[in-house]
Amino acid sequence: LDHFVSVEDLTNDEVLQLIKRASQLKKGSVSPKANPNLYAVNLFFENSTRTHKSFEMAEKKLGIDIIDFEPSTSSIKKGESLYDTVLTMSAIGTDIAVIRDSKESFYTELINSPSINCSIINGGDGTGQHPSQCLLDLMTIYEEYGYFKGLKIAIVGDLKHSRVAKSNMHMLKRLGAEVLLSGPAEWMEETFDQYGQYVEMDDLVTQVDVIMLLRVQHERHQSTHASLIDTYLDKYGLNETREKKMKPTAILMHPAPVNRDVELQSSLVECDRSRIVTQMSNGVYARMAILEAIIAGRNKAG
Ligand code: CP
């Protein structure tokens, strides 16, 4: 790979190869750890714990040197643009830039610039895509079932503002899963109809093999939705009553951070069918597989 910016750019075979490599790495497959003279910078202009720190862990496990970058003490504070920041990182010899930014498709001008030699990894672009989260989610489902075709997978909640939902809807449908959607009507869009059917939460929980809950993205909302949040768990969330109606083998997922007792009853975060902690662990291996593919692409290009 030259860059990793959207799952839509990957073939199904490339996605499956990345999942399988991530699973091998999890089982202890030895990676060529030392990547001497390979430098990565993690540029996070939106808050992050999991994506930022698991990329950092993945880079360290692969022996990649990390160039520290703290937006609040950088020249971003003097008004320097993302483009000029990445141009600078490239000029000083950085090979890989992992970037999260609020601007949708921020990566387009970076990957098309003849002056920027860094490989770009999208750590989340506004409400656009979250491809590394998608890969770790797919890995988690594949570990459980070993296939995607015919699985009933629900994506529930704040679909409109969720980049995780956009990446997952696309890839799960493409891999042959039956996608079901649920959540408040104001957070649905007509364009989602191509990926899956809307089903009320009470009808949905009895049918699914996987339920993926989404975080209510307060920071992207115009108003506070206080009355919606007060009743959210009972109307649209997964509470203990609904969880008991799920198939014995069904799993629950959430990209986290979880708004406890909003999209998911707090007591269910670590319940037997929850794979939320597994998702966090898998994030390191999925990101190692992405980095390996990027390094292989750079080596091939010379
Ligand atoms: N799931 C996810 O992207 O979490 P962070 O925002 O903490 O990176």
So what's the pLDDT on residue 36?
Answer: 76
Residue 140 dihedral angles phi and psi, to the nearest 5°: -65, -40
Residue 178, beta-bridge partner list: 152
Q: Indicate if the pLDDT at residue 202 is higher than 70.
A: yes
Say yes or no: do domains 7-129+281-301 and 131-280 share a fold. yes
CA-wise closest residue to 36 among 301, 300, 299: 299
pLDDT in tens, 126-179: 999 999 999 999 999 999 999 999 999 999 999 998 999 999 999 999 999 999
Ligand 1 atom 3 nearest Cα: 51
Query: What is the percentage of the chain residues whose pLDDT exceeds 90?
Result: 89
So what's the pLDDT on residue 64?
Answer: 96
CATH 3.40.50.1370 correct for 131-280: yes
So what's the pLDDT on residue 289?
Answer: 97
Cβ density class 86-98: b for 16+ within 10 Å, e for less: bbebbeeebbbbb
What three-state secondary structure class fits 283?
helix
Q: Indicate if the pLDDT at residue 226 is higher than 80.
A: no
Residue that is written with structure tokens 């990565």 in the block: 40
Band (pLDDT 50/70/90 cuts) for residue 109 is: very high
So what's the pLDDT on residue 131?
Answer: 98
Band (pLDDT 50/70/90 cuts) for residue 228 is: confident
So what's the pLDDT on residue 302?
Answer: 77
Band (pLDDT 50/70/90 cuts) for residue 33 is: low
Ligand 1 atom 1 nearest Cα: 255
Ligand 1 centroid – CA 110 distance (Å): 23
pLDDT in tens, 37-93: 899 999 999 999 999 999 999 999 999 999 999 999 999 999 999 999 999 999 999
So what's the pLDDT on residue 245?
Answer: 98
Residue 257: cis peptide before it, omega within 30 degrees of 0:
yes
From residue 185, give the alpha-carbon distance in Å to each of 6, 119, 159, 215, 223.
Answer: 27, 39, 10, 16, 16
> Which residues sit with their C-beta closer than 6 Å to ligand 1?
48-52, 133, 255-257
CA-wise closest residue to 65 among 101, 89, 47: 89
Band (pLDDT 50/70/90 cuts) for residue 225 is: confident
| 256 CA closest ligand 1 atom index | 1
Ligand 1 centroid – CA 53 distance (Å): 9
* Pocket mutation for ligand 1, best pick of 42, 45, 49 (most atoms within 8 Å of C-beta): 49
Q: What mean pLDDT, rounded, does the chain reach? A: 95
Structure tokens that stand for 108 in this block: 């387009």
Domain definitions of the chain by residue range: 7-129+281-301, 131-280
| Cα 135 from Cα 153, distance rounded (Å) | 15
Fold of the CATH domain 7-129+281-301: Rossmann fold (3.40.50)
CA-wise closest residue to 264 among 166, 115, 157, 168: 157
- What's the distance, Cα to Cα, between the start and end of the chain in Å? 13
| 100 CA closest ligand 1 atom index | 8
So what's the pLDDT on residue 35?
Answer: 78
Band (pLDDT 50/70/90 cuts) for residue 273 is: very high
Contacts of 74 (CB under 8 A, 6+ apart): 80, 85
Q: Indicate if the pLDDT at residue 223 is higher than 80.
A: no
What three-state secondary structure class fits 60?
helix
